[in-house]
Amino acid sequence: MIPLIVVENPKRWPFDMEGVEVVQARSYLVDPRYAEMKRVAVFNVCRRYGYQSLGYYVSLLAAARGHRPLPSVATLQALTDTPLLRLVGEELDDLIQRSLAPLQSDGFNLSIYFGKNVAKRYDRLSRALFNQFPAPFLRARFARDEERWRLAGIRAIAGLEIPETHRDFVLHRAREYFDRPTRPRRTQEARYDMAVLWSEDDPTSPSNSRGIRRLTRAAARQGIAVEIISREDAGRLPEFDALFLRETTQVNHHTYRFALRAAAEGLVVMDDPESIVRCGNKVYQAELFERHNIPAPRTMVVHGGNVSDVAARVGLPCVLKKPDGSFSSGVAKATTQKELEEHLDELFEESELAVAQEFTPSPFDWRVGVLDGQPLFACRYHMAPGHWQIIHAAGTRTQYGRVEPVALEDVPSKVLQTGVKAAGYFGSGLYGVDLKEIDGRVMVMEVNDNPNLDGGYEDGILGDALWDEVVRWFRVRLDRRGRERGDA
């Protein structure tokens, strides 16, 4: 990436940064040379970012040109969104209280330079705020009310607002940020950059290290450079063209915030925020299945007022589910009315609603992977030994059922067709549809966004071809976006 620093008046820019061009904002907006440049990172440090100001148009036109502005227009809008500011303050409350606890004053200003402060003790707070509002230079204002600190405001600042005493640190931090020697240099053949949110240490990760290696090789074959990122890298999303979530997603979770931020920044995202919301709640799925006549076990949405109806409507034993549970968590089997009420009491402590479902035991579940409306893979997920679920957590020990890849042509046609149809109501991304086939009756159990793609399991039949198809999904959308922007 070619770094450009864009300011209103380059003569008043207080830093001399070797290898970085400092450009006047009006020149960047009207000079054809900048409009024609490719692979440019635009660091917008104008004095004003208000709507239709020079700073606003620098970020707006940078995005239109396929450049990567920091801050983006989405960030500029977020900085003026008072409800969002309050939400961020609540989310970071523990970190704010810990970071500012030693202070005795009633107010504090924190200067953030590419995600860091001159005082190392504020690094975590600075990074967290930079991740929420990616901009080169920020100033956050905190106020203390009744012995608790709150985030009172945050704004992007210009170079001239940086104190003289901070300038050596800022120059060092800028060089460090521009160089980023830990980031692998992209090969000359790669046209796009894709971030993959993944942690090798996460036991519930939907891809193993073998799968990530195969993904990386498949991406390279199609001109996409992959970089693994962590939850600490939200502020870096504008650097990339695409985001692939390979952590288990939830709405009340950093994975959803990553998806939202990436979509707002114009990245091609899998899984998209809507898919996470739709697939992440079993109450939503129960209503959708009923509305569209998708075959499913007898199911009802349970609340405090209809607990007595559950046994009559879905039978006993039945399965009770937390709306946003995953990996078999938040799921319990009730054999008696007493067990049913006890389990529901626990579920109602976290949610106003729960789902009760007919108990449908089987030796395995079908998993049909659907990508862009077409079947991608199929597996039989066998139940854990001696248990009715695929995953069985007993104390500190977790048992998993066997995964058996199956060629698509060997999957019963009704299972395949039902899986593809069900996924179609959730979007055009990647979904894992869980189904049971019992005595000729095919039932959809649930539709998952972010399904497992593990090397040696889901790709057991197709091998590298499976990863090629996943990457092709990204490449098609990236090329389309390039044509719309005039990059192609």
Question: What SS3 string covers 125-177?
Answer: HHHHHHHHCCCCEEEEEEEEECCEEEEEEEEECCHHHCCHHHHHHHHHHHHHH
Residue 188: per-residue pLDDT: 54
pLDDT at 82: 85
What per-residue confidence (pLDDT) applies to 324? Answer: 81
pLDDT at residue 328, as a whole number: 61
Strands 374-382 and 364-371: antiparallel
For residue 414, give the H/E element and its range.
helix 413-424
Query: What letters, b where the CB count within 10 A reaches 16 and e where it falls short, cover 41-60?
Result: bbbbbbbebeeeebbbbbbb
What is the structure's pLDDT at 486? 61
DSSP label at residue 239: G
Q: What contacts 298, CB < 8 A, 6 or more positions away?
A: 313, 314, 315, 357, 358
The pLDDT, as a whole number, for residue 482 is 78
pLDDT tens sequence across 5-42: 999 999 989 888 888 899 999 999 999 999 999 889 89
Convert the pLDDT of each residue in 406-441 to its tens digit: 999 999 999 999 999 999 999 999 999 999 999 989
CA angle 450, 209, 180 (to 5 degrees): 95
Give the residues across from 346 on adjacent strands.
none
Q: What pLDDT score does 66 carry?
A: 83
Name all domains of the chain by residue range, CATH numbers in brackets.
1-178 (no CATH), 192-271+474-485 (3.40.50.20), 298-358 (3.30.1490.20), 362-463 (3.30.470.20)
Nearest to 105 by CA among 140, 152, 149: 149
Task: Estimate the crossing angle of helix 93-100 against helix 123-132, to 10 degrees.
Answer: 150
Q: Alpha-carbon distance 184 to 283, whole Å?
A: 43
Model pTM score: 0.77
- Could you tell me the strand order of the sheet in which 354-358 lies? 299-302, 354-358, 318-321, 331-334
Q: State residue 458's pLDDT score.
A: 97
* Low pLDDT (below 70) residues in the chain: 180-189, 326-329, 485-488
- The amino acid sitting at 85 is L
User: What pLDDT is attached to residue 1?
Assistant: 75
Looking at residue 29, its pLDDT comes to 94
Contact indicator for 231, 241 with CB cutoff of 8 Å: no
Token pair 């067990």 is found at: 339
Residue with tokens 């998952």: 448
Instruction: Supply φ then ψ for residue 433, to 5 degrees.
Output: -100, 120
pLDDT of residue 17: 81
pLDDT computed for residue 184 by the predictor: 46
- Contact 95/124 with Cβ under 8 angstroms? yes
Q: Determine the Cα–Cα distance for residues 233 and 293; give it in Å rounded to an integer.
A: 42
Residues 289 and 299 sit within 8 Å (Cβ to Cβ): yes
**DSSP state at residue 340:** H
pLDDT tens per residue across span 54-113: 999 999 999 888 888 999 888 888 888 888 888 888 889 999 999 999 999 999 999 999
Cβ 194 vs Cβ 242: under 8 Å: yes
User: Across the chain, how many H-helices and E-strands are there?
Assistant: 16, 22
Side-chain-facing half-sphere of 251: CA atoms under 13 Å: 12
Identify the pLDDT of residue 180: 62
